[in-house]
A and B are shown apart, each in its own frame.
Chain A
Amino acid sequence: MLKVENVYKTFNAGTINEKKAIQGLNLHLEPGDFVTVIGGNGAGKSTTLNLVAGVFLADRGKITLDGQDITKQPEYVRAKLLGRVFQDPMLGTAADMEIEENLAMAYRRGKRRGLSWGVTNNERELYFERLKMLDLGLENRMNSKVGLLSGGQRQALTLLMATLQKPKLLLLDEHTAALDPKTAARVLELTEEIVTKDSLTTLMITHNMKDAIHYGNRLIMMHEGKVIYDVKGEEKKQLHVSDLLKKFEECGGETSDRMLLA
């Protein structure tokens, strides 16, 4: 489904702030793979997601998604293949627009936007049903401004928006990191529900090793812009946090407090 082949990315090349973020990354996702991504700060996790999403372009290498070469495609063009949820709950939704207007924007992902009315009645029924699944009572507040929602509600809504049009690949960039533990757990549950229901190919970054082991069918660890550990199926299920920490230290990675506490 997703093929990242020998990709390199350096920021501020040739300056004192030069940062080699990605150094020869290879990653191959099968359809239906739910991959959790872990690694220390600066390991290149977010950069990988942003390269796939097209926030910036790769210096070298090739990225293919669903058979299409997207290496040089602008962000808004490849968006038709991708669903995305960001770490910052404010980024995924438009605060001054209504819940249904946000959903209508997402419903038209990858489609031409013309001069027909922005939200139709048929869509409203669909949005009502989908919002009901979230079990947050949002289905009765469809005309509320999104800015009035809590961070957790906004993140759940963003998740719904990202999957309203079934994406070829769902990118989750630590989408529960800014939430309180209880809300984070609820949003993760929702994530698993939606991913399983639509058997979505998913790439999820997390700082929480337990979550990384618990969710998905495959786990990769990144370090210095490369995948250093890739485990799936039964082997992954048997993993313990201590195994991951050991693996992490073997590679000379510094464990952050955040990873240990999580």
Chain B
Amino acid sequence: MTSILLAMQGAVSQGILWSVMALGVFITFKVLDCADMTVDGSFALGGAVSAVMILKGVDPFLSLFIAVAAGMIAGTVTAVLNTKLQIPILLAGILTQLALYSVNIRVMGQPNTPLNGVSTIVTILRDITSMQKSIITLILGIVIAAALVFILYWFFGTELGSAIRATGNNEYMVRALGVNTDMMKIIGLFLGNGLVALSGALVGQSQGYADVQMGQGAIVIGLASIIIGEVIFDFLVSAFKFKLSFAHKLLSVIIGSILYRLIIAIVLQLGMKSTDLKLLTATIVAAALALPVLKSKLPSSKNKKIAA
């Protein structure tokens, strides 16, 4: 029983650290409506840069900022390929992601970098507070996620943030209203991949190593988190009749990310092999994306709509 509880607690901590990545995916995929595939690469880039910086003697907290900057550069590369060089966004992201595989190995000098015997933010906080590592990860994750929700809510309410949201909504109109939509996309991908790299750095420090493979499938995990969060909040809205604000949407991404990790922990406890997880994740995302289509084909839901 305790092993299950421990697994659950670990899942929640992991979910919160990965939710930072999901917030980045939320900005590019949902807010900006850009299918940015850079994510898998920029996640590992964040982990790699942070790990290497720590080994070079840089403060672990400062290494987070350097990781964010690296992620932002990666996002900008994709955005410039897309906007200035007119490469379709999907391909632009895949190209950057592919290139980042080599870059990440260059950064680390090898395919992975263990953080044995050096201090990370987790070990530093453990020494200060003398709490358990898993509890520290949890609290750290909550603080960072809460701060990010606050900052993103503010930013997307500003004139600039509104212009980015509007670009994702109706690019044509926004250009007619005097907004440089190329610049909005660059800023969006810049911010999104900065968050993704931050998440990679946090995950790397909490697990004690960075690996060139650590971002594999991140994009789908991010989408799964967003979709799970959407489903939960759709249910809450219909149950409690409140207006879904942008802050709710940001919160739903974090809750979705935690639930995703809980689902994974449960199926692992039930005896599924960890190598089957990618199949499971892909199935969850495909099923969730197919849900609206399947619903509309069911006669009962049609009748419900008319009755409503």
Contacts and interface: CB of A to CB of B under 8 A. Distances in A.
Nearest to A77: B178
Interface in A101-129: 101, 104-106, 108-111, 113-119
Given A97-B165, A105-B166, A114-B158, A76 B175 contact: yes
Contact of A79 (B158, B163, B175): B175
B159 A94 contact: no
Interface in B16-36: none
Contacts of A86: 172
Contact of B170 (A53, A91, A113): A91
Contacts of A91: 170, 172-173
Contacts of B213: none
B178 A110 contact: yes
Contacts of B159: 104, 108, 113-118
Contacts of A117: 157-159
B299 to A, nearest CB: 26
B206 to A, nearest CB: 32
B114 interface: no
Nearest to A147: B169
Contact of B157 (A53, A90, A96, A118): A118
B174 A94 contact: yes
Interface residues of B, number: 22
Contact of A80 (B155, B160, B165, B178): B178
Nearest to A113: B159
A113 B163 contact: yes
A80 B175 CA distance: 10
Contact of B181 (A76, A84, A101, A105): A76
Contact of B179 (A76, A90, A92, A104): A76
Contacts of A111: 178
Contacts of A93: 170, 173
B298 interface: no
A186 B17 CA distance: 54
Contact of B169 (A84, A95, A104, A108): A95
A94 B158 contact: no
B177 interface: yes
B160 A115 contact: yes
B176 A114 contact: no
A174 to B, nearest CB: 16
Nearest to B160: A113
A115 B154 CA distance: 9
Given A114-B160, A115-B158, A116-B158, A96 B169 contact: yes
Contacts of A95: 169-170
Contacts of B176: 53, 75, 79, 82, 84, 92
Interface of A: 53, 74-77, 79-80, 82, 84, 86, 90-97, 101, 104-106, 108-111, 113-119, 161
Given A74-B180, A94-B165, A105-B179, 10 more contacts: A76-B180, A84-B176, A94-B169, A101-B162, A104-B159, A105-B174, A106-B177, A108-B178, A115-B160, A117-B157
